[in-house]
Structure 1
């Protein structure tokens, strides 16, 4: 296992906590669409992404699904239900293949109960995730689709060590809460403006300052909060 960790949450822990947690972790590979927690199920394991990314999905009775969050190397999966020891109200699925560290949810709860420094870090991350959820709800109600897509491209890029990202049109539609045709046209607009390169679901940011200018205010409001978490 490399040192330091390739996950910002783990890297931010004090050395004594890292030594304890290191014994609980193993490194795993994940593939796209691999479900790690079913909606309504108990969370048995926690994933700390390295270069994999995960998504939280709400699935409805008619089979439709809305993607509500993306989790990358800033944190871990299933944080709220893990700490509350409750069943998860959403599905957690791998949205970008790669690697992650995995640990027992029960072991993480026990460690947090024993070590206040771990608990403090988990609470700070919970605050970030709550802020992101609140901002996403406001964003979906207030901002046009192209601005929201630019925000999600920037956010996904911030949560990955790679210089490219993957977004299928159906996933973007779930994330934005819009039709695939609307999402496709909005992404094409960004491509025509040479802000991104977009081919078969592979996206590279070509002009980050211009993409940030094209994104809604939500990105600029949340980015300092993410950066400050591990400053």
Structure 2
């Protein structure tokens, strides 16, 4: 069977659990590869699984009656999807889809509920994460209403850099416009301005961040506020490990394997 690099630190929530709790969770976790734009839950859909991203980035989207959408939160290795299952809910109020292809741990909602009910450490950790996530959602709502598109774009790029852990972003103007809930032409103009100012290198389907400090200086206060809140509530966050390259060839969305305790040399 395939051997995996130690993934204890692949997701920051999982990495914060003591080893005995990780062992209890391990039989219920599957490492899966998620493809870009893969729909994980639609609005009102029952939550059967939750996802703990390691290298994937997942968007939580508010869908409007006219078919438009706006991103209210981005979830990467710092968090998880399917939070309503921890508060007694069974359905997702928003659409959740993969923004960047990558890996995540998948776990049944039922298994997570059971472990959450008997683990005080997990209860505290997840409540802190929910606090941080709600801060992000509330701040994004205010940002989308009150700040200029240029500032929103800087904020969005900074969040993506943090989630992907790279200054190279494979994104299209269409994707950005959908995430921000604005016209594509507005994104073209805003990205062109940042390009001319030397903050990013922008070409079709790709953005490279050249000057992070410059982006932070041009972003609204929302980025800094959300980042500080995550750092304050979840100080255990750190750089994650990447799944072994041997898994990359598997079909997207397919389970790679279950997990065994981390001290095992292979699976």
Q: Which has the higher contact order (CA 8 A, sep 6+)?
A: 2
> Which residue number in structure 2 is paired with residue 126 of structure 1?
130
1:16-31 matched pairs, under 5 angstroms:
16-31=20-35
**Mapped partners of 2:131, 2:34: distance in 1:** 27
Structure 1 residues 83 and 104, CA gap change in structure 2 (3 angstroms): farther
| Higher fraction of helix | 1
RMSD: 1.5
- Counterpart of 2:76 (choices 52, 72, 75) is 72
1:172-183 matched pairs, under 5 angstroms:
172-183=176-187
Write out per-residue CA displacement over residues 148-205 of structure 1, whole angstroms, 9 at most, x where no aligned residue: 1100110111112334223322221122222110111101111111111222222221
Secondary structure of the equivalent of 1:39? coil
> Which residue number in structure 1 is paired with residue 235 of structure 2?
230
> Which residue number in structure 2 is paired with residue 39 of structure 1?
43
Mean Cα displacement is larger for which, 199-208 or 80-89? 80-89
8 Å contact kept, 1:12–1:230: no
> Which residue number in structure 1 is paired with residue 102 of structure 2?
98
**Mapped partners of 2:17, 2:206: distance in 1:** 33
Structure 1 residues 72 and 3, CA gap change in structure 2 (3 angstroms): closer
> Which residue number in structure 1 is paired with residue 219 of structure 2?
215
Secondary structure of the equivalent of 1:55? strand
- Counterpart of 1:155 (choices 155, 159, 184) is 159
**Mapped partners of 2:180, 2:83: distance in 1:** 23
Question: Which structure 1 residue ranges, 5 or more long, are not aligned?
Answer: none
TM-score (normalised: structure 1): 0.94
**Mapped partners of 2:144, 2:214: distance in 1:** 22
Counting matched residue pairs gives 231
**Mapped partners of 2:223, 2:183: distance in 1:** 22
TM-score (normalised: structure 2): 0.82
Question: Which structure 2 residue ranges, 5 or more long, are not aligned?
Answer: 237-267
Structure 1 residues 162 and 51, CA gap change in structure 2 (3 angstroms): farther
Compute the displacement of 1:81 (Å): 4.4
**Mapped partners of 1:29, 1:158: distance in 2:** 20
